[in-house]
Amino acid sequence: MTKEEKIQEAYGDYFEQMKPWIEEEGWFNKNAFYQEEFKFKYQDLDMFFIHLGDFMIPKSIHGITGNNGWIKIESEEDFPKENGDYFICVDGVQPNNNIMHLYQLISHCRDGLISHYKPVIKPNEPIY
């Protein structure tokens, strides 16, 4: 699924009417409520959105800008460049055995078996 399709899915039945005020990253400009007569009320959707100033976004896609840290593989340019371990997704779903080392990951990327990856970030040591 593309980012655009995911945004449309998140807005559901409201998408077509809200579409002119939805930005590329999925944020809706709330000033539209002063300019447009909608078939629904702001209060009908308020609890399903996260608000930031004059904008709101469906909770289900709040992390869409950075894809929650996942890199989607669309070409070889998207393959990881740094040595390390990576979480993986196969067709957008994390398998149970979901960590691969760089070389194994790139091999599977070339075979088209992996759709997304995300670096495994080692946590900092405790201070005390």
Residue with tokens 């495994």: 120
Tokens of 52: 């930031």
For the cut 90, the answer to whether the pLDDT of residue 35 exceeds it is no
For the cut 90, the answer to whether the pLDDT of residue 23 exceeds it is yes
Residues 26 and 10: beta-carbon distance below 8 Å: yes
| Distance, CA of 84 to CA of 105 (rounded, Å) | 10
Q: Which of 79, 77, 76, 61 is nearest to 4 (CA)?
A: 61
CA end-to-end distance (rounded Å), the chain: 45
Other C-beta atoms within 10 Å of 78: how many? 12
Strand partners, 63: none
pLDDT tens-digit map of 55-101: 999 999 998 988 989 999 999 999 999 999 999 999 888 888 889 99
pTM recorded for the entire structure: 0.77
For the cut 90, the answer to whether the pLDDT of residue 22 exceeds it is yes
